[in-house]
Amino acid sequence: MKIKNSDFVTSAVKKEQYPTTGLPEIAFVGRSNVGKSSIINALTNRKKLAKVSQTPGKTRLINFFVINNGEFHLVDLPGYGYAKVSKTEKASWGNTIETYLSGRSELKRVVLLVDSRHKPTADDIQMHEWIKFYGYDEVIIATKSDKLSNNELRKKEKDIRETLKLTKEDTLYFFSSVNKKGRDELIDNLFNILVENE
């Protein structure tokens, strides 16, 4: 698949604010400093489609982007796990994400981002379990892989798979928004579900 163009559609918190076009959706979720905006911009080849914030935890809304003039929606969910916010605020982000995940028929796949340099956190584990609980197809991407050597990548893959209790069938990719190595192949693998469902 080629991503030819991408545009911002709307931001939402409540279900009634979600787009009602019926387009299939693929959602990206991860910790607030995992590089979610950077990977969305790298995949869509747009420098400022998703706003890269200097302050982690800034995205508090669900942002919808339309891809290829209405082929599908790419959905940017709020970053979670940022330490410098109140418990109330953390809970509200959790509610925002869970509200979206519960019964969104347009949602075809959830892409969970984890930092390749560290073991997945308790928040990452909870998010992975949520995605599985709601029955969505999941792809996991370990970001910032340019910071690791090949030997470290192999070790980190083992760490991630063990921490999240992944099976051989669970899909895990390593990607860097800096060098964009394997970008076209990753796009094909991420969005193949849209073609399969047609």
- Span 46-70, pLDDT tens digits: 878 877 554 444 457 899 999 999 9
Question: Helix, strand, or coil here: 141?
Answer: strand
The answer to whether 15 and 105 are in contact (CB under 8 A) is no
**CA dist 65 to 4, 130, 176, 182, Å?**
13, 23, 21, 23
The answer to whether 7 and 19 are in contact (CB under 8 A) is no
- Span 103-133, pLDDT tens digits: 899 999 999 999 999 999 999 999 999 999 9
**Mean pLDDT, residues 5-28:** 94
* Number of Cβ within a 10 Å radius of residue 164: 22
Predicted pLDDT of residue 198: 53
What's the rounded Cα separation, in Å, for the pair 152 and 145? 10
- Span 2-13, pLDDT tens digits: 899 999 999 998
The answer to whether 128 and 113 are in contact (CB under 8 A) is no
Which has more pLDDT, 61 or 94? 61
- Locate 136 and state its tokens: 């969505």
Nearest to 9 by CA among 90, 64, 73, 89: 64
pTM: predicted TM-score of the whole model, two decimal places: 0.90
What's the rounded Cα separation, in Å, for the pair 68 and 42? 15
Domains of the chain: 6-196 (3.40.50.300)
